[in-house]
Amino acid sequence: MEKDASTSWELPGHPEADQPGPGRTEADFKKREELVRQISQKAALNGWSKAEAARRIDMASGTFHQWFSGKYAGRLDAQNEKVMQFLASSETMTRLANSIPKSPPFIETKFARDVMNMLTAAKIMPAMVMVSAEAGIGKTATARHYKARTPNTFMVTISPHTKTVHGTLLAIAEALDIHQPNQAKIVSAIGKRIERIGDGTLIIVDEGQNLIDESINQLRHFVDMYGCGIALLGNSETYTRFHKTWSDGPHYGQLKRRIYKRMNVEKPHLEDLTAFIHACDIAEPEMVRFLTGVGLKPGALGQVDMTVKLAKMSAAGSAQPLSIGHLKAAWQSRDVGALA
């Protein structure tokens, strides 16, 4: 079978356009051959097509194809320089990325287990559930973990730009891979897709505090008409709106009857904080106590994660083991204490 020239990184043979001229010295030809080998190795390693490599280099796709194949008749020195700059920049970014400590992998904390139990209930019953927690406690990470491991689970994130009924519907349609040009039919298209999937469908709606009330009522429609579980995730405002604002609205009775359960967490559980700190490879009691205090501030586990990363980078830069001093200096240098 003939290989696709746009994706094959087989090294070209002798250049067809090998006539000398301005920007086409013997050194330029040799440099091109060296760069062709380097870019082909990097692209093959990353799974890039030639078009993608050209885009990253900021070179016209046609020019890159000609340069790579040896058919380019213009100035080689200029195109060589572009490729050299890209490779140097890419290497710098790779070294920088490798120098940044990694966040701990997903940890099944008590909070995570509670959230996943609620998601499972919404999926099976089906029903609507509401999880409200302050930033950094782990609701989004838990939802992503659950979605990745649970069939027929979809997730959308609501922003101020998608808070309306129309915006919410478009976000759900995209998550369900629905392409419906007629906007008047988008609700029925989503419903039909849910029906084809069958029982046990769950749509997780993150950043639910951004939704307007009409959008909440539209989500209730999918529970009623199509048996789709809905999980609303948001900050404490989501919980407060249900308790105060929505209780005075015309749809409160309908919403209250269909919301199976609500959960509101204002601060992380201490056992969750301890598990996360240990997952950061920190067990020294004084450092654990300090990071526990950091984690109890707004931002919770996220505050711990960023503080530890900065402290580890500082310690590595000075070739020293991580210490309580590095952690305290990192927290102070982040300058978020007043915000917390």
In this predicted model, what pLDDT tens digit does every residue of 99-137 receive, in sequence order? 788 899 999 999 999 999 999 999 999 999 999 998 999
- Tell me the average pLDDT across 41-47: 90
The CATH class that applies to domain 110-265 reads: alpha beta
What pLDDT score does 302 carry?
Answer: 94
pLDDT, the chain, mean: 88
Angstrom distance (rounded) from CA 213 to CA 219: 10
Angstrom distance (rounded) from CA 246 to CA 255: 9
Model confidence pLDDT, tens digit, residues 246-255: 555 555 555 5
Spatial contact of 101 and 234, defined as CB atoms under 8 Å apart: no
Angstrom distance (rounded) from CA 144 to CA 105: 12
Angstrom distance (rounded) from CA 157 to CA 168: 9
- 126: preceding bond cis by omega (within 30 degrees): yes
253 residue type, one letter: G
Who's near 45: CB < 8 A, 6+ residues apart? none
What pLDDT score does 10 carry?
Answer: 79
What pLDDT score does 178 carry?
Answer: 92
Q: Which two tokens stand for residue 298?
A: 């707004």
- pLDDT confidence tier of residue 339, bands split at 50, 70 and 90: very low
- Asked whether the domain spanning 110-265 has the same topology as the one spanning 26-99, the reply is no
What pLDDT score does 255 carry?
Answer: 58
What pLDDT score does 12 carry?
Answer: 77
- Give the rounded distance of the alpha carbon of 210 from its chain centre: 19
Who's near 186: CB < 8 A, 6+ residues apart? 169, 170, 173, 178, 180
What pLDDT score does 5 carry?
Answer: 45
Fold annotation for 26-99:
434 Repressor (Amino-terminal Domain) (1.10.260)
What pLDDT score does 253 carry?
Answer: 55
Per-residue 3-state assignment (H helix, E strand, C coil) for the chain: CCCCCCCCCCCCCCCCCCCCECCECHHHHHHHHHHHHHHHHHHHHHCCCHHHHHHHHCCCHHHHHHHHHCCCCCCHHHHHHHHHHHHHHHHHHHHHHHHCCCCCCCCCCHHHHHHHHHHHHHHHCCCEEEEEECCCCCHHHHHHHHHHHCCCEEEEECCCCCCCHHHHHHHHHHHCCCCCCCHHHHHHHHHHHHHHHCCCCEEEEECHHHCCHHHHHHHHHHHHHHCCEEEEEECHHHHHHHHHHHHHCCCHHHHHHHEEEEEEECCCCHHHHHHHHHHCCCCCHHHHHHHHHHHCCCCHHHHHHHHHHHHHHHHHHCCCCCCHHHHHHHHHHHCCCCCC
Model confidence pLDDT, tens digit, residues 230-265: 999 998 877 776 655 555 555 555 556 667 888 999
Model confidence pLDDT, tens digit, residues 54-64: 999 999 999 99
What pLDDT score does 8 carry?
Answer: 61
What does the domain layout of the chain look like in residue ranges? 26-99, 110-265, 270-334
Who's near 255: CB < 8 A, 6+ residues apart? 128, 216, 217, 220, 242, 246
Who's near 288: CB < 8 A, 6+ residues apart? 274, 277, 278, 282
What pLDDT score does 246 carry?
Answer: 52
Model confidence pLDDT, tens digit, residues 274-295: 999 999 999 999 999 999 999 9
- pLDDT confidence tier of residue 152, bands split at 50, 70 and 90: very high
